[in-house]
Structure 1
Amino acid sequence: MDEHEHRDQKQLEAQIEQYRHELQRLKTIESRYLAANAECERLREQQQAAAERSTLLGRAAAILASSFDYQATLAAMGQLVVSYLADYCIVDLIEEDRTVRRQIIANVEPRTLELAWEVERRYPFDPNALYGPPRVVRTRLPEIVPVVADWVVAVYAQDDGHLQLLRRFGLRSYLCVPLIAGEKTLGALTFVLAHTERHYNSADLTLAQQLAERAAQAIVNARLHRAEQTARAEAQAANRTKDEFLAALSHELRTPLNSIIGFSQLLRRGRFNPAAIARATEAIERNGRLQAQLIDDLLDVSCMLRGQIQLQRQNVDLKAIVENVLAVVRPEIRSRGLTLKTRIARQLPAVEGDPRRLRQIFWNLISNAIKFTPDGGSILVQLKSTDGHICLSVRDTGVGIEADFLPHLFEIFRQADGTATRRHGGLGLGLSLVRHLIELHGGKIEVESAGIDQGSCFTVRLPEIESQAKSCPIRLPAANPSALAGLRVLVVLEHAALAHTLQNALIAQGATVQPAASIQEAMDFIETFRPDILVSDVISRDNQSAGRFALVRKLDEREECFSAPDTELNTTSITRRLLFADFAIRMALPQQPDDLAREVMRLAGRPAPPLPGEQPHPQA
């Protein structure tokens, strides 16, 4: 090869190398361009997804804020979500009774909706399940399964039938987040993909949590609104009840007053024969008694509301009270053409209570039966002993009681019908007072009615004295009228038989004993009776804890007043501890009344006599 050809070859190779470098540069530029283009596309898609998420959140918030009917708004939100985030959207909410109930199932294919509810009916929410919404509700933590394999479905299924139903959905991806408002868990929000190749990721989890936050707040707002509406309705109802009561009270007061004033004016004019004067004075007296009874009822209700009704307890023959009241009302029953039937046991144990209040209870019940039974109807009064209780029932064929009103029957000032009230009279105080008096006697009252014009039956159960005594075997210390002479003991015992026996035991030792039926009554006696020792086991009514401590504070104003309130009923051991320095000794109430009587003697610094058959303790 000559020199010329060699030079040409070199130039050609240089050009080729130059072209190669240029091509490499162009490829690098192209690669960078493609990468930049891909990044732009990614950012564009990310921006679009963010915009879609923002739009979704905005639309969801608007839907949730559109109504206080959160079930409807959650359903609408579910339909919105299945158009973007899921094929199925499920809402489980915790009810007021702490049970979890599935509220909403939204999906893109309505034909599978029935299948979804069938699964819910056959396999309801299991709060102890290891996976799924139950676990999310329990732990308050989200749960995400990007790829739902068949083994995952098998683990979640409760049995083979459940597994077969779940497989029919073709689940691909699953996401569940808790509904939380503050410290309160409201339920769970579940999303499922089944008809797409897409799988849930961290961005979807964030979106789901944002939706759950808005849904939870909407639920809280709706429930607060519902509570406010309920409270408002109750306040309005209470205000109407007050107005109705005042109107009825005005009528009930005016009617006998008009009669009294009218007859008084006629008598002042004179010109009456003796028979007319007798009728006028009888009418004045009758209406005056009606006024007095009405005022007594109002005073009783006032005392009841303040917890100040006092019972003069003694052994009472309830049979005699019932027969006495029936003898009084029989003329009215005959004048109305009513039929009175009685089924009264020949022999009945006594009850412990206030005879005047027990008569008031039965008088109210039989008077209501007469008042609300139309002419020609019938009334059945039964009195018997069963299961350690005296059962008194009054059944009539009267106007009956609506099922909706039964739960409110014993509420003060509540009456079933304003028109009926005007027709029959009354203030709606009787039954609330009756229930309170029965509860003060340690009993209970029940009512049954099949509805309007089906009559009603009121049943009162009061504990027998014998049954109370059987549960507490009694041993009394030998009587010594000088052992506790001059000592004043205030006894506030809910256990009637124990109180009665303890009272007798202390009186036998010479103590002056004042029984009290309630904490409030005891506080009144503290001022007037000025006890040296207090014995109390009031453990249910009168707000026992606050009442007991209020009583102790009251006693604290006395320098020489010992207090022996209980800590446990029916314990065999007797414990003491200093409750207030230089003031009170607290002890557990023993099982035997004689033990308590002897402890009172020791507490007062008096020698306790031996029990019958027991040897005296040697003196130190």
Structure 2
Amino acid sequence: MAVQIDERTLPPEDPEPEPDGTAMEKADILVVDDLPEKLLVFRTVLEELGQNLVLVRSGADALREILLREFAVILLDVNMPGIDGFDTATLIRQHRRCRHTPIIFITSYADEMQTARGYSLGAVDYILSPVVPEILRSKVSVFVALYQMRRQVRRQADARAAVMAAQAARRVAEENDRRSAFLAHASRVLSGSLQITVAMNQLVELLVPELAPLAVVLLLDADLGAGEMLAAVQPSDGAPLQLSTGPEARLHERLRRALRDAAQGRQSVRLDEEALAALVPADFGLAAAGDAFPPLRSAQVVPLVFGERMLGAVLIAGSDAIERAAADAGLLGELAARAATAFENARLYLVLQREMLERQAAQEELQRTNRRKDEFLAMMSHELRNPLAPIHTAVQVIRRVAAPHPKVAWALDIAERQLKQLTRLIEELLDVARISQGKIVLKHATLDLNAVVAQSVETVQPFIDGRRQALKVVVPQQPAWLLGDMARLTQVIANLLHNAAKYSPEGTGIELVCWLEEEDILLSVRDHGIGIDAELLPRIFDLFEQGERGLDRAQGGLGVGLTLARRLTEMHGGRIEAFSEGRDRGSEFRLRLPRVGTVAPAAGQALPQEAAATHRIEALRILVVDDNHDAATGIAAMLELEGHAVHTAHDGEEALAAANAHCPVVVVLDIGLPLLDGYEVARRMRAMPELAGALLIAVTGYGQNEDRAAAYGAGFDHHFVKPADPETLLGCIRLWCGQRAQGGAGNRQPSSTAL
């Protein structure tokens, strides 16, 4: 509902007579606000103007009122239910009578975007609520006066005073419209890019020649590139706009001081004609010709501030008229505020870009470090295998040739146990590297839980017995089947048992308990050892993570066993968890694996050494090739003890020469050879008619699936990973010899053994 206040509601006043003797007719003022209390405030403040007040509470009521009468000025609340202030202004502007009616927006908050939108709709001003009565009356009275002058001009066209008033009103309106349009355009242009160089160029192009013929922008924020400046000049001879960029040092000391004084003081600084008289184009960082350089009589510097951050400063210079017009209109200050917002957005974008690049670089470096670690582990494990092979062979040779003696047997037992421990540690390192590189491929088969547990216990039992510990094993009575890789699952359970024994005192007990739960198989390994600290428990499965240890390193180990157990378990679709009540309270590792239906696995084939046990073989011509002389000599000594005639070679070309000279029937060949690698040697040997049926055995430190495939593709019959067990190697030769004696072709059936 509209609340109209006309002259009958106000105290009677004697209107002042106009110059022509007629009384000034009251103007209509429209106030739109949805809150009655605010309407009451506006009425109280504006009734002193002696005009007709029309107060309405919605945009719809306001639209009805403008159809009935013409208003001198419209006070419009921005935030209203239904049709808000901006929509109401848009509809008002569509009405011919109100196309140019001054609109003052009343709002509690106005940001840059809101202000720009309001000015684009033709707003002449923004007033923040709560209003200051004097300011509101002053602003409204101006537009009322302008309106009355325009109306007086229309009615008294022959009155010179009325004509001048109408012209003044028109000039004010045009200036306001121009100012609003210019600032709205500036906001759109400056917000169009997040590049600081683009924003600087756009700013000087807005300043020159609109506000002055010369402008300089200086950056003072470190994120934006403090000390960089951009100068622009519109030559007086009408030549195109000239731009120049460079360091702050190109500016005259007086200009640099003025720019920095304005920035530090956060207020405008003026330079008079005397200060500018001695300056030449080069002092502004410009190269304009002397005659083309505009005359400079005054200059003004305005800071570019956003909040508490000082971003830079801008200088404009020109004639007195241009500089004064820019200052009087307040355009330079408002334009600087919009430019500061654009510069701050560009700064935030640069900071974000730098942070993203830093995070990306850190991530890439982390990936490179992780990749180098995996490559190092793989290479270290491979290189450590080479010395292990001759040591292992030497131990076996000593066992065969040494005279029986308790001290010799004791020493050999120690060497063999420690050699197995070292081999296990190396294999764990290599397995971690393989999993990290995605190179482990599981050989799935349907397995009996009891068989997996039995094999795991058998693997660790000597270590447990050596520590005089008691292992209790409880498994389900009914069959339990799971799908997995026997070797890898055995490795997981054995690691858990070995870990429990290693971190438990001698003479204590360890429990391994298995049970079925819905569709899963659960296996628990519990000990009564040193336990796990609460802060370590969440990281217990991390690579190389171990609890605090003294200098004695009583437990030993590399901290990779649990990492390997978790990753292999996850590859089987299961999970592993650790529990502990704290230090010296023992620990429990619980393994959960999915189970399958009760389908018995197919019977496996006999191992080569088992089948070979029934065959006795004749002396053979054997060639051993390895660039490690100790490894070659050790394998040769082992084969010679079996009665074979053995020759050795230490590179690829020497191996081919020995093959031509001795025509071996068995070749034990390393892959990583100098001159020619083992693959090429094998291919050339297979091309020799006399070696076409020979037994080719690869003994190498490379044990990946692709390494085995490459070996078989080159013509190898078997693939052993160092350190190869001499008895397994002998068993392979015995089996081949037995098949050969029976007329079989066993030597052309590739097999692989990784020990």
The bucket for the TM-score relative to the shorter chain is 0.3 to 0.5
TM-score (norm 1): 0.36
Q: Point out the structure with max Rg over C-alpha.
A: 2
